Amino acid sequence: MSVTAAMVKELRERTGSGMMECKKALVASNGDIEVAIEEMRKSGAAKAAKKSSRIAAEGVVKIVSSNDNKNITMVEINSETDFVAKDDGFLAFADTVANAASALGNENVEELMASDVNGESLETVRTALIAKIGENIQVRRIKQLTAEQGAFGHYIHGVKIGVVVNVTTDNAELAKDIAMHVAAVNPEFISEKDVPADYVAKEKEILIAQVADSGKPPEIIEKMIGGRLRKYLAGITLYGQPFVKNPDMTVEKLLKSENADVVTFSRMEVGDGIEKKEDNFAEEVMAQARG
């Protein structure tokens, strides 16, 4: 059976694959479009398996909030390159993943990928997208939060840093401002009382070692250590940090002026913790020239 341009066009529309790949699949299936689709899906799964070990440290963070703003979902979806992270197909997949994660309501990525979307699993959709785009694509992590009091504010910086903040007030502008601060400054804890004792002890040990040979009296050393420790704790806590939009006041003072507190916050940054491959373009060119 001859393969016509109309058949290639139909297969392209149904699979999103390239023209030559569609033509090749139709020739192999003797013009049977359904068989061609099945074989292309099998081929796509094989390609996806081969690409699954490749580092995917680019991508986007997506946030989905419930209608009452009491439940919120944050998801990281990765690609290998920043170029693909801007692809319309990848972004549509990311939106689908985020909405499905919100509907699922838990943080189990494996269960999410097994969930059904428009008659097929998210994993099947991911595999097909890998075959089409040619890069490893991963859904890395999900964060689910529920507001016990007040409401959430959230902020996405570009597409790579997402922050969710629960404040004890319905002041949406305040919550978003705090989320922007967390995106920019990345505090580790809300306040000093949230810093684990071993963190404090470790830092105090370091500070003592730093001034041990100073020759100063013990009472002066104690004051020096106390001042430096307070500065350290202010630097790692949200409440102690100067507010990014007005450094003349701390975040704690800002919250007090609004009669509010932060219940919790979560910050998600694309690729955080992934060991990225460092490519040296100049060295690659030189190696090719020599070889």
User: Nearest to residue 228, comparing CAs of 248, 252, 208, 198?
Assistant: 208
| Same domain for 108 and 94 | yes
119 in a structural domain? yes
* CATH, residue 42: 1.10.8.10
HSE-CB of 26 using CA atoms within 13 angstroms: 22
| Same domain for 134 and 60 | yes
Domain residues for the domain of 128 are: 52-146
137 in a structural domain? yes
Query: Which residues are registered as beta bridge partners of 250?
Result: 242
226 in a structural domain? no
HSE-CB of 179 using CA atoms within 13 angstroms: 23
Q: Count of domains in the chain?
A: 2
pLDDT tens digit at each of 291 positions of the chain: 678 888 888 877 776 666 777 788 788 888 888 887 777 666 654 455 455 557 788 999 999 999 888 899 999 999 999 999 999 999 999 999 999 999 999 999 999 999 998 899 999 899 888 888 888 899 999 999 999 888 899 999 999 999 999 999 989 899 999 999 999 999 999 999 999 999 888 888 888 787 777 767 777 777 888 888 999 999 999 999 999 999 999 999 999 999 999 999 999 999 998 876 555 545 655 555 555
Planar angle of CA 160, 163, 164, nearest 5 degrees: 150
22: tokens are: 């569609």
| Same domain for 28 and 102 | no
277 in a structural domain? no
- Tell me the C-alpha distance between 164 and 179, whole Å: 6
| Contact (Cβ atoms closer than 8 angstroms) between residue 162 and residue 154 | yes
113 in a structural domain? yes
76 in a structural domain? yes
Q: Which of 104, 120, 146 is the last residue of a domain?
A: 146
